[in-house]
Amino acid sequence: MALAQPGPEPPLDAYSQVVSSVAAELIPKVASLWVHGPYGRGGPGSGVVFTDDGFVLTNAHVVAGASRGTAAFADGTTGGFTVVGRDPLSDLAVLRVTGDTPPPAVLGEADRLVVGQLVVAVGSPLGLGGTVTAGVVSAPGRALPTRSGGAIRLIEDVIQTDAALNPGNSGGALADAAGRVVGINTAVAGIGLGLAVPVNATTRRIIAALLAEGQVRRAYLGLVTTPAPLPRPLAERTGQRHGLRVVEVMPGSPAERAGLRAGDLVLTAGNAPVAAAGDLQRLLFGEAIGAPLPITVYRAGALVDVIAYPTELTAAQR
């Protein structure tokens, strides 16, 4: 008795078509990274080619303390890389790969993402290059605590996703349905929860600074804040729904000298509304050092205006 022959393969469903097309687009452009340190080769990481002359974007923690390593691509080609610059406060780093590299990935715009939107992660978890997982944007605007030396810092405004991430995914691509890289995967926060540094206007400024100078000059204000809703009468008066509650003012900081206090509700900085930590952080790049920064806060039922003069963030404060 003859066995029935299989019929033609059914067409892929819409979801599979999107994920497979993004995978085909990005797998060649995401490298597996191995860092060369003083004690031999370090663990695996990932990186995304973003220029046509061999520059690769990854996480600062992937190459922390190292200056070189090896990048391997899906087509079997490998090349050495050097670290051009790193910025621990954003957890971003730029590498330069020697030799041929694939065409660059297209960088997208994370600020346009919405909760529930499909995203695809491409990287090298556990050193397994070309690994693809998919999920949705669980939430934008999260904060990721990281340790830099003896200090704990926050990476602001990260994307939370349920796309499966594992060690080695760090530095890989988080892409939208069009294959545009909207985030650089940075952490496995827990079962079913991953985080990625967004690709947006702030990220592009950081990348440009790393390419030009190998570092990012930042202004220091000395505030620890958390988003908070405005009281209803104040919201109706200002047309603003949220501000930043000051949790802590660092002793001797520009914020303390300006008269800011814990408990203040920051409404505007630089004459622009602030509703998330990223709104304030976007103002604190090199050009803000030593320049007057007007800040309006709500305190004890009244609006209070102050002027702060940010100083340059030192290596000890990073």
- Annotated catalytic residues are 61, 91, 170
3-state secondary structure of 100: coil
Q: Specify the DSSP element, H or E, that contains 98.
A: none
CB atoms within 10 A of CB 316: 8
Which residue, chain included where needed, has tokens 């600074």?
Answer: 209
Comparing C-alpha atoms, which of 194, 163, 179, 180 is closest to residue 59? Answer: 194
SS3 sequence, 36-77?
A: EECCEEEEEEEEEECCCCCEEEECHHHCCCCCEEEEECCCCC
245 three-state secondary structure: strand
The full 3-state SS of 154-203, as one line of letters, equals: EEEEEEEECCCCCCCCCCCEEECCCCCEEEEEEEEEECCEEEEEECCHHH
Q: Around Cβ 102, how many Cβ atoms within 10 Å? A: 18
Alpha carbon of residue 60 to chain centroid: 10
Residue pair 246/227 in contact (Cβ under 8 Å)? The answer is no
Distance CA 146, CA 215 (A): 18
Check if the beta carbon of residue 262 is closer than 8 Å to that of residue 223: no
The token duo for 22 is 């993004």
